[in-house]
Amino acid sequence: MLMKKLFLALTLIGLAMSTQAQLRDSLDFKIGQMLLMGIPRADVDTLVYEAVTSGRVGGIILFEKNVPKKTSAFADLKKIIWAYQKAAPTRLFVAIDQEGGRVNRLKEKYGFTRSITAEATGKGKSLDSARFYAEATAATLAGLGFNVNFAPCVDVAVEPTNPVIVKSGRAYSANEDSVTFWAREFIEQHRKFRVVTVLKHFPGHGSSTTDSHFGVADVTRTWTERELKPYQALLQSGHVDAIMSCHIVNKKLDTAGLPGTLSREILNGMLRQRLNYNGVVFSDDMQMEAISKQYGFEESIKLAILAGVDVLCFANNVPGSLKQKPSWIFEVIRQAVLKGEIPRARIDESYQRIRKLKASMNDLAGEQYRQLWIKAMNDNIALRQQLEAVKKPEPASKKKRKKDKKS
């Protein structure tokens, strides 16, 4: 009797594993892994949740609008994240843009750790301070359940009037070596907590004079090779987890004038062949106007995949843009594959890259994370006290005594 029960149990386990394997080998599942969706509010969204459960969405991205505006923001946000993660048939990308400063979704007013801009980090030239803020950010993200941070921004501050990168304080420096140095420190602190970092915006957005959120940003005349140097240096030192493409137009790199995200010459020719990068490429938000106002919904999806994008981001966060449903995007890709417009091999290629990246995102054991978090917090408290002591002005009485001695 015992042997029969054991045999039945093993059979059921085998069937479950076989079903799971079949799901993961299916075209539908592979396409789903290529989709990263924004959610509309600080709650679990039915449409995205159902797509996650069925394996037709492989990741979510959260913004400030998704943070519960309560004193229990940390706990409530963590519940939302884990609701999605537990529903997924395989590990889910849970992403956020937490650069610090202006691009900061987890603000102090909601009870989260203070952050500073990349520009402040570069100008401050304090390694201790840079590590303090990066480690606090990484610890917070890991504690909430985020496993991808769309940062650091490795754009070089080439154009002082650049509205989206330079004037927003998102660039570490106008010097490419300095950008590389500070970005490496940011990445190192995130790796302690197994949070994937994503370099952006390839092949460089620091020389634009316009913002690709609101239209075409053409850097053909202003872009230079030195904007590639942070990518080259970080690839050589093994500090690249993933890369985000951007929607800039650069006819030096793509003679047809296709935006970076849609350009095979930029993503396949330059990034993969010339720089020898074979990791995951995330798109910048496909609903930004540099893409959505210039190319059709279906056309932009097909071009991005053919160019070499592995994960398409539809953040549903651009004011006035049409809110895209996961099922719409999924079906566009599926039909394009079935019609032969996108080779199935191209989907397999992206799937293998995504699978490899997700496999590297091993969860920290509870106690291991707790000890790391305690150490990080204690180190950060001590460092903050040191930094405040340096900034603290001398008491008036002490200044007076010094003056009396001089006289």
CA atoms of 332 and 329, how far apart (whole Å) = 5
Query: Which comes out higher in pLDDT, residue 12 or 125?
Result: 125
Looking at the domain assignment, is residue 374 inside a domain? no
> Of 170-179, 323-332, 389-398, which one has max mean pLDDT?
170-179
Looking at the domain assignment, is residue 397 inside a domain? no
Q: pLDDT tens digit string along 265-297?
A: 999 999 999 999 999 999 999 999 889 888 989
Looking at the domain assignment, is residue 3 inside a domain? no
Does position 396 have pLDDT exceeding 70, yes or no? no
Looking at the domain assignment, is residue 36 inside a domain? yes
pLDDT value of residue 293 = 86
Q: Exposed, middle or buried by CB within 10 Å (0-12, 13-18, 19+), for 359? A: exposed
Question: Strand, coil or helix: what is 60?
Answer: strand
Expressed in angstroms, the distance from the first to the final Cα of the chain is 101
DSSP string for 83-135:
HHHHHSSSPPEEEE-EEETTEESS-GGGTPPP---HHHHHHH--HHHHHHHHH
Q: pLDDT tens digit string along 145-180?
A: 999 999 999 999 999 999 999 999 999 999 999 999
pLDDT value of residue 367 = 55
Looking at the domain assignment, is residue 92 inside a domain? yes
Q: How many domains does the chain have?
A: 1
CA atoms of 407 and 394, how far apart (whole Å) = 19
Percent share of the chain, pLDDT over 70: 81
What's the mean per-residue pLDDT of the chain?
Answer: 88
Write down the pTM of the prediction: 0.86
Mean pLDDT of 92-109: 95
Q: Which of these ranges, 35-39, 108-112, 198-202, has the smallest mean pLDDT? A: 108-112
Does position 347 have pLDDT exceeding 50, yes or no? yes
Alpha-carbon torsion angle 171, 66, 244, 134, nearest 10: 50
Does position 83 have pLDDT exceeding 70, yes or no? yes
pLDDT value of residue 397 = 52
Looking at the domain assignment, is residue 129 inside a domain? yes
pLDDT value of residue 319 = 65
Does position 400 have pLDDT exceeding 90, yes or no? no
CA atoms of 25 and 145, how far apart (whole Å) = 27
Look at residues 63, 236, 57, 41 and name the one whose alpha carbon lies nearest to residue 146.
63
CATH code at position 125: 3.20.20.300
By residue range, what is the domain housing residue 164?
Answer: 28-363
Q: pLDDT tens digit string along 184-213?
A: 999 999 999 999 999 999 999 999 987 677
Q: For residue 394, what pLDDT band results from cuts at 50, 70 and 90? A: low
Query: Which comes out higher in pLDDT, residue 372 or 32?
Result: 32
pLDDT value of residue 359 = 93
Looking at the domain assignment, is residue 110 inside a domain? yes
Mean pLDDT of 63-71: 91
Looking at the domain assignment, is residue 210 inside a domain? yes
